[in-house]
Structure 1
C-alpha cells in the first residue's frame, strides 16, 4: 500500500489529510503524557502527515526538538511550509534517520496501514524510550454485521489490518513492548465531519459506554485505543 502515499492517490481520496482532526488527537496524546508524568526533550512522529499533531503538541509542551517523518511527498510539502524553530519535517523513513533515539515517539493511526505491521512495530521499539500508539478499533459486532464500514476504510483510507482492544494490545506485547497505560478515544463521538450514521449512534454509544466501556466498544464500535508503551 506504500504507493498510495507516495503517489497522489491518498491525497485525492483525502484532500485535507485529516488536518481538522489534529487538535483532538493532540489533546488525547497530551492527556496520556500528563497522566503518566512523562517528561521529554525530543518528540518524533512516524507518518506525521501534514504535521499538525506535532505543531499542536509544540504549543502544549516545552520540548526542544520535534521531528516529523513522512513518506508522502504531497503531505511533506504541506508540512514543510509549517516548520518552526523547534519542529522540522523530513521526507524519509524514520528507520533512515540519524536523529534517533528519541524520548517519545508517536505512531498515530499508522500500523493499520502497514503491510508487515509486526515487523514494523518491532523495528520501531528501540528508536524511542516511550512510544504512543493510536490504533483504530475497526472490529466490532456492528462493523462485521454491516460489512460496509470496514470495506470503506480499506478503500478510502487504506486500512489493511483490523483490530479490537485485546488484539491491539497483544500485538504490541508480542512485539516486545511493555504497556504502561491505555485508554479509549471516542473519535466517532467527538471528531467533526462525521457520517450521518455516526451522528445517530452518538446517544446509544454514550449511554452504553457509561455503563460498560469494553462491551460498548466491542458491540457498537466507534472508538480507538491510545497506548503508552516502552
Structure 2
C-alpha cells in the first residue's frame, strides 16, 4: 500500500499544485549541472534521473553530452505521461523506480527529490548503488528568515511536498553519513536567478546578492533563497 506521502504523487495531487512540474526551471538547473560536471572533468556516458518529473532537465543534460544515454524514472503516472513524450534516440523514461534492479549508470541524479522522500538516508544509499557518481540538488529551506516567518516552511510542505528541511551543513552531513565522498559542491542562487518572476522577488534579490558576496555561508543560513548542488561518489578506504 502506498504511504500517505507518496500518494500525492500517485493520485495527481502534486500535479494539481504544480501543473508545469517546475519545467520552466529546467534550463537553469541543467546549466548548473553541466557547469559542475565540467568543473569536475566528468563527461558521463550514461545518465539516470530518479524523480525526473517532466523529463526536461534530463533531456537537456543528455543533449549536453553527445553520444550519452539518459534514463528517467518517476513513480508518478502523470509525470511519466508528460516525460515520455520526450523519449527518443538515447532518451528513455520509465514509470517506477530503478532501485533494486540490475541497473548501473555513470551518473545518477536526484534533482530536488531527496527532501520529498520519507527516508533520505535509504534514498541516498540506493542512488549510490546505481550510479558511479551521484548528483543531488537540495533546497536549503532551513534558514533564519524562513524559521522566523514560519509560513515558508509550511508552504514548502503543503504546496511542494517537502518533508525534510536542510541547511548546507545538514545536507552535507547526511551524504557523508551515507558514506558518500563530496567531489564538488556549489550554492545555486534560485532566489536571485529566478527573481524576474515577481517584483517582490526582484526586490528581495538585491540584499541576497550583497550578503552572498560578503559571506556565502552566512547568507544561505540567514536569508535563504539558495539550494545546494552536490556531486558525490562512494567513499572508499583508499580515498578516505
Q: Give the deviation of 1:97 after TM superposition.
A: 3.8
Output one character per residue of 1:143-173: Cα deviation in whole Å (capped at 9) or x when no partner.
Answer: 0000010100000010000000000000000
Output one character per residue of 1:192-225: Cα deviation in whole Å (capped at 9) or x when no partner.
Answer: 6645543321000001111111111111000000
Contact 1:181 1:229 (8 Å CA) reproduced:
yes
Contact 2:47 2:71 (8 Å CA) reproduced:
yes
2 CA distance for matches of 1:128 and 1:111? 16
Contact 1:20 1:192 (8 Å CA) reproduced:
no
Output one character per residue of 1:73-115: Cα deviation in whole Å (capped at 9) or x when no partner.
Answer: 00100111111111100001111444x2100011100010001
Give the secondary structure class of the aligned counterpart of 2:64: coil
2 CA distance for matches of 1:144 and 1:196? 23
Residue 152 of structure 2 corresponds to 149
Find 2:185's aligned residue among 171, 182, 185. 182
Alignment of structure 1 residues 41-190 onto 2, 5 Å: 41-98=45-102, 100-190=103-193
Across the aligned residues of Structure 1 and Structure 2, the Cα RMSD in angstroms comes to 1.3
Contact 1:184 1:226 (8 Å CA) reproduced:
yes
Residue 30 of structure 1 corresponds to 34
Normalised by the length of structure 1, the TM-score is 0.96
Contact 1:107 1:132 (8 Å CA) reproduced:
yes
Q: Give the deviation of 1:17 after TM superposition.
A: 0.4
Contact 1:42 1:103 (8 Å CA) reproduced:
yes
1 CA distance for matches of 2:63 and 2:50? 19
User: Is it true that 1:10 corresponds to 2:25 in the alignment?
Assistant: no
Instruction: Flag structure 2 segments of 5+ consecutive residues without an equivalent.
Output: 234-240
1 CA distance for matches of 2:115 and 2:70? 24
Residues paired across the two proteins, number: 229
User: Is it true that 1:20 corresponds to 2:24 in the alignment?
Assistant: yes
Between 1 and 2, higher relative CO (CA 8 Å, sep ≥ 6) is seen in 1
Instruction: Flag structure 1 segments of 5+ consecutive residues without an equivalent.
Output: none
